[in-house]
Structure 1
Amino acid sequence: MSGDEEARHKERTQKHKAVVDARIAAATQDKGLLLVLTGNGKGKSSSAFGMVARTLGYGRRAAIFQFIKGKEEVGERAFFAAHPGVTWERCGEGFTWETQDRQGDIATARAGWEKAKAALADPAIHLVVLDELTYLLTYRYLALEEILPPILARPPMQHVVVTGRAADEALIEAADTVSAIRDVKHAFRAGVRAQQGIDL
């Protein structure tokens, strides 16, 4: 890098640092966040579980409620369920095309939601993950009027992560942070089955 390039680089990075520092200085509020991870791409649940790891790293408690696909054995459950700081509840019997039992799926989802509501009222739980919750609305297992009030009435410093495709607009509007994960390419469509540690 020439002297001119080095000088331009330093000038750009100094300006960038000033902008970032100003934003950091302006961010003075602490609050429990509602995060919605939606979209057709892979990685929504994995991102939520990363936040579980961060929570545990600070010695705090997390509760995970896995709807719809809850019957599957996944690596995250094998790891986190044994941790004393984690509550992990299976709130589903498997994907709908596997169960083929709408009333049974509704009953299981509703029972899981009752447990989730208790966690949403518990200030000792720092993070609540509602994995695949969006499907309860899409499939009309539960109404938005049943789901949103307990989330919004949670303890002030409790964080909630909702995952799943096609998040309801009301959830998106209520959220502090929303990420829409886009599907560009997936190995499964090329005939590669789900891989342990990556998909399971």
Structure 2
Amino acid sequence: MTDAAPPVSPPADAGDLARHAVKMAKKKAARDRIMATKAGEKGLVIVHTGPGKGKSSSGFGMILRCIAHGMPCAVVQFIKGAWDTGERRLIEGHFSDLCQFHAMGEGFTWETQDRARDIDMARKGWEKAKELIRDPDIRFVLLDEINIALRYDYLDVAEVVAFLRDEKPPMTHVCLTGRNAKDTLIELADLVTEMTLVKHPFRSGIKGQKGVEF
């Protein structure tokens, strides 16, 4: 007995094809009109937050885009500095000429159990971040997990917001990641994405794995 052949879709009706073409032409025309009004460029403040996975991953995706375009960029990690991550290996091993990588944190606060040290490391990370953002040659700065440092008041969110508003060069992009982004930071930002948790393997007893989590 052989497997049955998959069903074959009937050929598209000529009228359906014509209606589809007209519909797509209208959609393209409308899209072109919208795009014609979008001529400006500016350095963006970008926030990735929410309980779902993908905040840092998306930030590092933009770092790789910058590298591919030959745009000088930089990463400051506020929490995961002690981790041996794939992105750190890749950037430091192959793209250090285009991307500076500064791992300033020593782990999540429940791992260090030393608030004074966490505050000191966050402060050092923020000072490095300001130096990188001010550098006119750097086009994109990723502040990975800074929202966690802000959540626990290791850093003053008013100071961070004021610096991004008043001192960030006009064409420099800055991306801030981490859960529980402060409302004042969200208000300042040009682009905010909230990652929504639907399912996560950790809840089923699966630990973080190479290539997926780090």
Which TM-score tier does this pair reach, normalised by the shorter chain? over 0.9
Read off the aligned partner of 2:200 and give its amino acid letter: H
Deviation at 1:117, TM superposition (A): 0.6
Structure 2 residue runs without a partner (length 5+)? 1-11
Deviation at 1:5, TM superposition (A): 1.5
Q: Which residue in 2 is equivalent to 1:112?
A: 125
Pick aligned residue for 1:123 from 125, 136, 141: 136
> How many Å separate the matches in 1 of 2:125 and 2:102?
7
> How many Å separate the matches in 1 of 2:164 and 2:100?
18
**Secondary structure class of the residue paired with 1:179:** strand
Q: Which residue in 1 is equivalent to 2:28?
A: 17
> How many Å separate the matches in 1 of 2:39 and 2:121?
41
Give the CA RMSD over aligned residues: 1.0
TM-score (norm 2): 0.90
How many equivalent residue pairs?
A: 200
- Assess if the C-alpha contact under 8 Å between 1:120 and 1:150 holds in 2: no
> How many Å separate the matches in 2 of 1:8 and 1:170?
48
Matched, 1:45 2:56: yes
Pick aligned residue for 2:85 from 61, 74, 87: 74
State which structure, 1 or 2, has the greater radius of gyration over its C-alpha atoms. Answer: 2
TM-score (norm 1): 0.97
**Secondary structure class of the residue paired with 1:192:** coil
Matched, 1:198 2:212: yes
Structure 1 residue runs without a partner (length 5+)? none
> How many Å separate the matches in 2 of 1:175 and 1:13?
34
> How many Å separate the matches in 1 of 2:66 and 2:100?
13
Deviation at 1:149, TM superposition (A): 2.0
Where do 4+ consecutive residues of structure 1 move more than 3 Å? none
Q: Which residue in 1 is equivalent to 2:67?
A: 56
Deviation at 1:145, TM superposition (A): 2.0
Read off the aligned partner of 1:134 and give its amino acid letter: N
> How many Å separate the matches in 2 of 1:16 and 1:172?
32
